[in-house]
Amino acid sequence: MFLKEYFGTIYKSIKSLLVGMKVTGYYFTHLDEIKTEEYPDNRATLKMFDRFRGEVVMPHDDNNEHRCTGCQACEIACPNGTIKIITKQEILEDGKKKKRIDAFVYHLDLCTMCNLCVVACPSDAIVMAQNFEHSVYDKKQLKKILNQPDSKLMQGVE
């Protein structure tokens, strides 16, 4: 009885080990199961999903115009102070003073890509870009000003 149990254990153990080795052996002999994406080589074909959140950008059209009115809704919506909007007073043609953005400062180093600013924006001025290659040697490069130099507010956006 003891011997039966003893050899039974050995038989079961060896069988279980061989079953395990069969799995690794299968993958060793079936190299087409490898689905590795070779990142830097596939950069041309690598496309992120549309909703993927890489960084906040402010789209500008051909006339160097953006849609940001400087309402600071995003700044309030941001949970961790990533966005800082510096505004200036601009005198319009009809003599009225109007608030316009001077600099849309975006701290990529603080950003958690939570999308709350994009949701909060009433005029769709900012969107999430799919770019993710942000590595830098210097932290200072991560502080970005999103509005381009000399850009203006698009007509009809209030």
Binding-site ranges for another protein (CB under 8 A): 10, 12-13, 16-17, 19-25, 27-28, 31, 33-40, 43, 46, 48-49, 51-55, 77-81, 107-116, 119, 128, 132-139, 141-142
Name the strand (E) or helix (H) holding 155: none
* Cβ closest to another protein, residue 12 vs residue 88: 12
CB of 151 to another protein, least distance (A): 19
* Cβ closest to another protein, residue 42 vs residue 64: 42
CB of 87 to another protein, least distance (A): 19
* Cβ closest to another protein, residue 86 vs residue 91: 86
d(CA 15, CA 47) in angstroms, rounded, equals 45
* Cβ closest to another protein, residue 16 vs residue 88: 16
d(CA 132, CA 47) in angstroms, rounded, equals 11
CB of 27 to another protein, least distance (A): 5
- Tokens for 59? 């789209």
d(CA 30, CA 27) in angstroms, rounded, equals 5
- Tokens for 46? 């690598």
Is residue 116 a contact partner of residue 28, using CB atoms and an 8 Å limit? no
CB of 97 to another protein, least distance (A): 27
d(CA 155, CA 158) in angstroms, rounded, equals 9
